[in-house]
Amino acid sequence: MSLMKTVSDTVVQFLPDGKHNSLLDRDGFLGKPLVRVDAEAKVKGKARFTSEFDIPNLAHAALVFSTIAKGKVSEIDTERAKHSPGVLEVLTWKNMPKLEAPPLVDIGDLAKGMAASNLPVLQDASVHWNGQPVAIVVSETLEQAEDAAALVEVDYTAEPAATSFDLLKAEAVVPSDVLGEPAVISIGSVEKGMQEASARVDQVYLTPAYNHNAIEPHATIALWDENGSLVVLDSTQSAYMTSRSLALIFRLKPDEVQVLAPFVGGGFGGKGSLWTHTPLCAAAANVVKRPVKLSLSREAVYRMVGGRTRAEQRIALGAARDGKLTALIHTGITTTPSHARYAEQCTFPARHLYASPNVFIEQKIVNLDTIANTWMRAPGESIGTFALESALDELAYALRVDPIELRRINEPDKDPTTGHEFSARRLTEAYRCGAEKFGWDSRKPEPRSRRDGDWLIGLGVATAYYPYLRFPAKVRMCLYADGKAVVQTPAAEMGMGTATVQIQHAADRLGLPLERVSFHYGDSKLADTPVMAGGSNQTASLFAAVQAAVEDIHHELLKMAGQIPGSSLAGAKYEDLEARDGGLYRKGEKSSGETYTEILRGAKQDFIQVERESDPPIEMMKYSMASYGAQFCEVRVHEQTGEVRVSRWLCCLDSGRVANLRTATSQVRGGIIMGIGMALTEETLFDERRGRIVNPSLAEYHVPVNRDIPDIEVLFLGIPDEHAPYGGRGIGEIGITGAAAAVANAVYHATGKRIRQLPITLDKLL
């Protein structure tokens, strides 16, 4: 059990760094630009990510990937591999332990688990995509495992595979829903609206597949104790849901599985679901009776982990002479295999951004024999805003109206498709503030109107949009008699500042100095809750749970104080109290109250602990809630070579109250950088003949580098949304939305060439 305890103790605890943060005033910590509490550990190399753990007696695993897209393994010869130096076992479908099929993602019931695919894991000879694991080799060292994996010989019986989007899109079908929303929405008559229009745009916009490239590739370490319980270290965005998925797969009770995610080096959705390598690693550890590590190479991530789907979107807009929309049509076709069933929500922005009396929205899916597609930062909204915001720009030129003015003209009073009131919406103000700071008024509307030698200069704008999400979350909170507090939750920290802002929030709620609050996370057993770092929901979800837990603690403390002779809080009503100076005090009375230490010691208690789940997200049902923003981009396009350089960027966001200006700005910049990559460099190249990704490396899949990115200025309106916990809405994903459209619109302004197919490469401009 000592080994199990060593692994379990990897749960991360963070206290604020006093050297950087102790000088802040005590009038409230939320909103302050605190340095990340984990910054020093990461900079100094003290933070250990999954693959960096060196556990005694650790074995290493390597995978053998299929080379066909569909069919069966007819023969597999593992003899040479088994007799290779250091090999402990070679597992195929023939000798793999019996595993249950993984639980497919169900947004309505996250607690049951969350796998990207419901295909059984190495349970038969069937092959469903090119890159599917057909064997796992376990050896003493990684080098021995990889060498032995290369010795496994596999023969296949190939079957006709559905791998061509273009050939099969005519067979696209309407799914039952798109993330819980209707796949088809029809309001009024778009045919009539288009006929009545004075100006029209009707175009198709194409985006390729994209792959995640987090700094930390996926990795898993699995070990079993003598009682049959499973402990897994995993690079996951949800330790809790990974544990629930594994419990189902291995037919274990939930409390017999513990998943630890101490540090996660980026996820962006790619680590949000359970992928095949995690149960494979756990099964291998069970067979060899030793801890096993399985670290995916960069290429293996492309083979094993899905990315963003290819998409074809049609946007048709009609407008009257005054610029008001008379019709809005947004249809989209995306791909997904039958074992994943995920229709990427590319039409969601069109449902909520602009007023039109006539609307038609429809999404369809094409089933292909590929790895399961999955969420990728601002999943559908990123590609959806590229199409919609490009079309709005085209309409502005057709009407000869300023692109920002066109958006102002079509600003809705209520949500265009649901009819709900907005909880708060200041998009027009974001455009006004951003335009003033960016110098939009100096822009000449005609394309090719500004140059610097051989460089054509253009300005573009686009709307950023991402819906507000909050899921039920639970935290465990403990307040000690020495005046320290601990918050515990299975949340994930991927570098976005979760630990930092939750400490800030809890300190504010409790009225404690920042340095007396600590935050524990990254352990599925810390609280029974399906909290997940994804959908820009984690901060708001945990804020609501922390608020509820603090209220419970304060009520209990008030009861305790009422039993203590001579307590100045005796007879006080809860609503008349406030938390400050490390205790509870009557409002407006500087010294009428008691510290937490005085109350707990007076009640002869060492601590008080509560575990509390937040209330249901009623606000999402009552209001249309989202974060909004204005993206401003300047590009320089070389007239002779077609080279595109983004030279200036400004983003102004209406996202409610900002929890930490430093981490929030970093988050938005990161999203914008991904949006620039989406616009100019990134593209997953797919060989439809074999169903294989042909550029599975950072040498051939081109993510932006420092030279590609200008200084990015981020502004926040910072006006609280009174219907969101502590007034804030999510910002983790909004930065990428609208970014590709802003680049494309700026390229048009610079060159007069409208690019409707990403990425915008030299060949499309020459």
Catalytic residues: 733
CB 494 within 8 A of CB 238: no
The CA distance from 760 to 638, in Å, is 13
The CA distance from 635 to 650, in Å, is 12
Query: Which residue is listed with tokens 């996926």?
Result: 218
Give first-to-last CA distance, the chain, whole Å: 66
The CA distance from 283 to 416, in Å, is 50
Residue among 495, 540, 438, 538 at smallest CA distance from 666 = 495
Interaxial angle between packed helices 661-680 and 739-751, expressed in degrees from 0 to 180 and rounded to the nearest 10: 50
Q: Is 9 exposed, middle or buried, given 0-12, 13-18 or 19+ CB atoms closer than 10 A?
A: exposed
Q: What are the φ/ψ torsions at residue 401 (nearest 5 degrees)?
A: -125, 150
Residue among 652, 635, 625, 631 at smallest CA distance from 738 = 631
The CA distance from 524 to 405, in Å, is 49
Q: Which residue type does 573 have? A: K
What is each CA distance from 449 to 286, 394, 742, 743, in whole angstroms?
68, 17, 18, 17
Sign of CA dihedral 598, 600, 605, 608: negative
What is each CA distance from 164 to 69, 95, 690, in whole angstroms?
12, 34, 10
3-state secondary structure of 187: strand
Residue among 452, 385, 372 at smallest CA distance from 116 = 372
